[in-house]
Every structure is written in C-alpha cells, then in structure tokens.
C-alpha cells in the first residue's frame, strides 16, 4: 500500500522565523528543494502551495515530490489531495498545525504530523 505525505507548504514555511514573509516564492523553493533530498518514510510527497508561494516552484512532479498549486484555498487543495489518496487506498499523512484542517483531513483517515516533525526530517 503506497504512502503519501501531503505538506501544507504555507504552514511549514511559516513555522520557521527565517524571514520567509519577505520572499514567499523563495521560501517555497527552499522547502521544495529540501523535500527533494529528504529521507521521509512516505513513498510520495505532495507539496501544496498557495498565493505568492506558487511563484517559487512550478506545478508538477519532480522525482517523488509532486507540487500542487491551489486554485483558491490551500486548505481545500490539501483536503482534496488527502481524500484522493484515501480513495485510492493509500495511507496518507498530512503535515499541518492548522487545527481546523486537521479535523477535515482526519475524516479521510489521514494521520496528522506537525511542521516541527517535518522540519526535523529535513
């Protein structure tokens, strides 16, 4: 059974007070690059970006990382990715600290992991 890690890009980037707010696209690119080389236990990583962060990484697949550009709400895109993975029978984990989002993805059987966990893996 494949495992999927869905990453709330805004939430993870926002967990590091490194000046990301001055260059959201650059912060998204740095996170993407780290995910490309990270040794996470999941088979596939889905990075969801919204707003100005979308300018840092093109949508599409790079090796085991697939970048999704949210058309509107990043949270809605994350829920859609979790639902899609769950419906395929994949085991899905979502990285976020957003409590409302946690409840939404848990309905689809997703395990929630903290941005701190992911940053430790990077």
Domain annotation for the chain: domains and CATH numbers: 3-121 (3.40.50.1010)
Number of neighbours of residue 68 by Cβ within 10 angstroms: 21
Structure confidence at residue 85 (pLDDT): 95
Structure confidence at residue 64 (pLDDT): 87
pLDDT of 109 over the 80 cut: yes
Structure confidence at residue 16 (pLDDT): 86
pTM: 0.94
Q: Predicted confidence band at 27 (pLDDT cuts at 50, 70, 90)?
A: very high
What's the CA gap between 115 and 89, in Å, rounded? 24
Mean pLDDT of the region 91-111: 95
Residues 6+ away with beta carbon under 8 Å from 116: 15
Q: Looking at the chain, how many residues does it have?
A: 122
Mean pLDDT of the region 37-52: 92
pLDDT of 86 over the 80 cut: yes
């Amino acid at each position: 059974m494949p495992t999927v890690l869905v990453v709330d890009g805004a939430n993870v980037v926002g967990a590091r007070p490194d000046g990301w707010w001055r260059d959201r696209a650059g912060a998204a690119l740095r996170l993407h690059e780290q995910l490309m080389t990270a040794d996470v236990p999941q088979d596939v990583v889905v990075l969801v970006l919204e707003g100005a962060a979308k300018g840092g990484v093109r949508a599409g697949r790079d090796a085991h990382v697939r970048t999704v550009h949210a058309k509107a709400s990043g949270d809605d895109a994350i829920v859609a990715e979790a639902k899609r993975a769950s419906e395929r029978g994949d085991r899905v984990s979502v990285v976020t600290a957003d409590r409302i989002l946690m409840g939404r993805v848990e309905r689809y059987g997703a395990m929630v992991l903290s941005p701190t966990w992911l940053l430790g893996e990077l």
